[in-house]
């Protein structure tokens, strides 16, 4: 019986020591990454000092050039400012230009595809455009 108890405590001690060694290795790896000074990236136009935030063009519709989609089937990026555009239960500011693909300056707004409709209106999940379509950021990617 004493031998069983002794083995039990020996195994626990080994497990605790291994866990502590793993934590020490992880902390050392994190420390070697360096301090970013609170910014995510300090390259061309992407850093705001806010984690996960990028600087977007702020250009009006029709003024910015479009960035190609990163892969086939990817939702198009938004080439204009969206900070003053609202999407609420009662109103979606995107629909005004994108429902029929109206001309804006020398460009034509990307028309909302048929796949986004359910009956005569936008499908519920498609109503919040910005859950898939994000503003394109200027500058080089951080990685």
Q: Phi-psi region for residue 58, left (φ > 0), alpha (ψ -120 to 50) or beta?
A: left
Domain ranges for the chain, please list them: 1-34, 45-138
Return the closest-CA partner of residue 134 out of 65, 60, 74: 74
pTM of the predicted model as reported, rounded to 2 decimal places: 0.53
Confidence of residue 60 (pLDDT cuts 50, 70, 90): confident
pLDDT for the residue numbered 140: 62
- 11 has pLDDT over 80: no
pLDDT digits (tens, 9 = 90+) for 18-55: 778 787 787 766 665 554 444 444 444 344 445 555 56
Question: How far apart, in Å, do the first and last CA atoms of the chain sit?
Answer: 59
Q: What is the CATH T-level fold of the domain 45-138, as seen in this structure?
A: Flavocytochrome C3; Chain A, domain 2 (1.10.1130)
Compute how many other C-beta atoms are within 10 angstroms of the C-beta atom of residue 135.
20
Return the percentage of the chain with pLDDT > 90, whole number.
Answer: 0
């Amino acid at each position: 019986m004493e031998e069983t108890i002794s083995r039990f405590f020996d195994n626990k001690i080994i497990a605790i020591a291994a866990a502590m060694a793993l934590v020490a290795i992880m902390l050392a790896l994190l420390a070697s990454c360096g301090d970013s000074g609170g910014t995510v990236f300090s390259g061309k136009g992407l850093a705001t000092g806010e984690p996960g935030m990028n600087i977007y063009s702020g250009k009006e519709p029709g003024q910015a050039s479009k960035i190609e989609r990163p892969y086939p089937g990817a939702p198009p990026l938004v080439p204009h400012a969206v900070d003053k555009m609202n999407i609420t239960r009662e109103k979606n500011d995107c629909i005004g230009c994108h429902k029929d693909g109206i001309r804006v300056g020398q460009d034509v707004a990307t028309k909302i595809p048929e796949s986004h409709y359910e009956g005569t209106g936008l499908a519920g999940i498609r109503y919040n455009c910005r859950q898939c379509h994000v503003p394109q950021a200027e500058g080089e990617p951080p990685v």
